[in-house]
């Protein structure tokens, strides 16, 4: 699907979708339990993949109150809560291959879950997912005594995993994906021996592990980040490793877990307000309650660029006003998903926007560093790309409507739509349907705010 976006003024209130990161973890945590309800989940292509995996392991996921429905029958459309019948810590051997579609989070978290099964599990995904690195997690599981292999011997899916995993101590790099750590912690809690994770490199994207630690605590599971001396830390930042005792039980308070709003998605709404809110009319965003999400840093970034932002944390509401933006320097080592939004804002801002510590952002659904540089240049922006730095030269940019490619990546699509709000004329964003991964109603929400957008089914 193509989306045709024309410069327009925005006004009104939008609600952030639920967090994709929390929904993935909550669905799998509920699967590890003997049953739980996940309230306010994000229903998207990625989270459906995790729900299918829970079902494949012997659990079930259905809209709360929908007797007998399965994921395949309902697809959960419009569900305010999902009832999960869990497999109580011991996944069964799936009857078929687990298809993780385009969801890297699903594949990594489910790979470790598969290691608990007393038998063999095969996992695969689409073309994009089959090109993403899984090697460090496979190596870690193999070191723990599990068969964990890439069928092509290249560290990429399809994967074959055969357990059961008993636990133990393992070393893993922290600078490729924090999801490897999350996968080991979640699975380690239900092993007999527990798991000790030693990091061989500094941990990047530490806030995502903080999300995991916060959610595990809400499910009654203990997991502790430790320093080089083995002393406990308050959070994942600076951790030398993690300790999770075995034999634990997943059980949220009163059997229910509520998913918070998603700050990765809020970044597009916030960015859109900063570049296109109607003069004198703040754009309001609901669902922005504080949590462990590192991507809440986007609030400070937009403020530093010069847009007035008022965040009522207690009410969970952000108001942002349009402003003349100025370039800033941002380190995205802990917040990789913010790079596309910051790059789009940099194309609108005066001066240079320098996005540092971003090499790991190249290993997402696409190489997001190159994708944003190349697609923004089609709109008239000037960008300089280095291995670990993306610089947008706003003072040399003159944005004009063009046809850009979303690269089959939800975050690229939404970031380019934000940039299009400041471009002269109409911008066509190809592959717009990929917003279904994390913000299925993105274009509907933007249209309600006043974005001039037309969509068609023309193939990219």
Total domain count for the chain? 2
Q: Please tell me the distance from the alpha carbon of residue 200 to that of residue 213, in angstroms, as a whole number.
A: 20
Both 182 and 274 in one domain: the answer is no
Confidence at residue 66, expressed as pLDDT on a 0 to 100 scale: 64
Tokens of 103: 């969801």
Computed on alpha carbons and rounded to an integer, the radius of gyration of the chain in Å comes to 21
In the 8-state DSSP scheme, what is residue 201? S
Both 336 and 435 in one domain: the answer is yes
> CA quadruple 435, 439, 441, 443: dihedral positive or negative?
negative
Both 268 and 217 in one domain: the answer is no
265 is in an annotated binding site: no
Longest alpha-carbon distance in the chain = 62
178 is in an annotated binding site: yes
Class of residue 394 by CB neighbours under 10 A (exposed 0-12, middle 13-18, buried 19+): buried
33 is in an annotated binding site: no
Task: Give the domain-ending residue among 209, 244, 279.
Answer: 244
Confidence at residue 285, expressed as pLDDT on a 0 to 100 scale: 98
In a domain, 218, yes or no: yes
Q: Give start and end residues of each alpha helix (H) in 243-291.
A: 263-276
Task: Give the domain-ending residue among 212, 244, 276.
Answer: 244
Confidence at residue 78, expressed as pLDDT on a 0 to 100 scale: 74
204 is in an annotated binding site: no
Confidence at residue 167, expressed as pLDDT on a 0 to 100 scale: 97
Both 225 and 300 in one domain: the answer is no
Both 41 and 172 in one domain: the answer is yes
364 is in an annotated binding site: yes
378 is in an annotated binding site: no
Q: Please tell me the distance from the alpha carbon of residue 181 to that of residue 440, in angstroms, as a whole number.
A: 28
In a domain, 255, yes or no: no
The 3-state DSSP class for residue 143 equals: helix
Both 51 and 152 in one domain: the answer is yes
Residues with a known catalytic role: 337
313 is in an annotated binding site: no
Residues of the chain with pLDDT under 70: 66-75, 458-460
Both 149 and 48 in one domain: the answer is yes
pTM score of the predicted model: 0.84
Both 172 and 280 in one domain: the answer is no
Nearest-CA neighbor of 102 among 173, 141, 144, 49?
49
The 3-state DSSP class for residue 165 equals: coil
177 is in an annotated binding site: yes
The 3-state DSSP class for residue 169 equals: strand
pLDDT in tens, 216-244: 999 999 999 999 999 999 999 999 999 99
Both 125 and 227 in one domain: the answer is yes
In a domain, 249, yes or no: no
- Could you list the residue range(s) of the whole structural domain that residue 80 is in? 20-244
Both 13 and 123 in one domain: the answer is no
Both 234 and 312 in one domain: the answer is no
In a domain, 266, yes or no: yes
| CATH number of the domain enclosing 347 | 3.65.10.10
């Amino acid at each position: 699907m193509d989306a045709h976006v024309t410069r327009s003024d925005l006004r009104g209130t939008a609600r952030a979708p639920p967090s994709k990161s929390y929904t993935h973890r909550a669905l799998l945590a509920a699967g590890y339990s003997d049953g739980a309800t996940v309230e306010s989940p994000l229903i998207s292509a990625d989270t459906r993949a995790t729900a299918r995996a829970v079902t494949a392991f012997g659990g079930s996921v259905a809209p709360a109150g929908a007797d007998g429905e399965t994921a395949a029958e309902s697809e959960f459309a419009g569900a305010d809560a999902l009832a999960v019948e869990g497999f109580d810590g011991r996944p069964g051997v799936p009857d078929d291959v687990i298809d993780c579609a385009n969801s890297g989070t699903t594949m990594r978290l489910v790979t470790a879950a598969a290691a608990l099964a007393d038998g063999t599990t095969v996992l695969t995904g689409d073309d994009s997912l089959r090109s993403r690195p899984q090697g460090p997690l496979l190596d870690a599981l193999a070191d723990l005594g599990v068969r964990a292999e890439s069928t092509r011997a290249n560290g990429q899916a399809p994967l074959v995993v055969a357990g059961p995993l008993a636990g133990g101590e393992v070393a893993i790099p922290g600078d490729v994906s924090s999801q490897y750590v999350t996968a080991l912690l979640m699975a380690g809690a239900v092993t007999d021996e527990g798991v000790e994770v030693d990091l061989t490199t500094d941990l990047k994207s530490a806030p995502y592990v903080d999300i995991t630690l916060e959610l595990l605590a809400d499910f009654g599971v203990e997991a502790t980040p430790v320093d080089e001396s083995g002393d406990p830390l308050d959070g994942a930042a600076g951790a030398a490793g993690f300790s999770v005792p075995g034999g634990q039980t997943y059980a949220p308070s009163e059997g229910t877990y509520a998913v918070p709003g998603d700050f990765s998605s809020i970044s597009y709404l916030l960015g859109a307000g900063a570049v296109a809110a109607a003069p004198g009319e703040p754009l309001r965003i609901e669902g922005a309650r504080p949590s462990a999400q590192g991507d809440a840093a986007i609030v400070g970034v937009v403020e530093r660029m010069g847009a007035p932002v008022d965040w009522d944390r207690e009410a969970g509401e952000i108001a942002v006003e349009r402003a003349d933006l100025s370039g800033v320097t941002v380190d995205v080592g802990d917040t990789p998903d913010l790079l596309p939004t910051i790059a789009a804002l940099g194309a609108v801002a005066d001066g240079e926007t320098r996005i540092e510590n971003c090499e790991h952002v190249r290993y997402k659904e696409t190489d997001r560093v190159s994708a944003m540089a190349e697609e923004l240049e089609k709109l008239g922006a000037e960008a300089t790309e280095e291995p670990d730095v993306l610089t947008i030269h706003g003072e040399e940019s003159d944005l004009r409507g063009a046809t850009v490619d979303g690269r089959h990546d939800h975050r690229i699509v939404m970031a380019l739509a934000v940039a299009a709000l400041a471009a002269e004329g109409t911008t066509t964003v190809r592959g717009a349907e990929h917003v279904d991964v994390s913000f299925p109603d993105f274009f509907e929400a933007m249209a309600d705010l006043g974005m001039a957008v037309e969509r068609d089914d023309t193939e990219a």
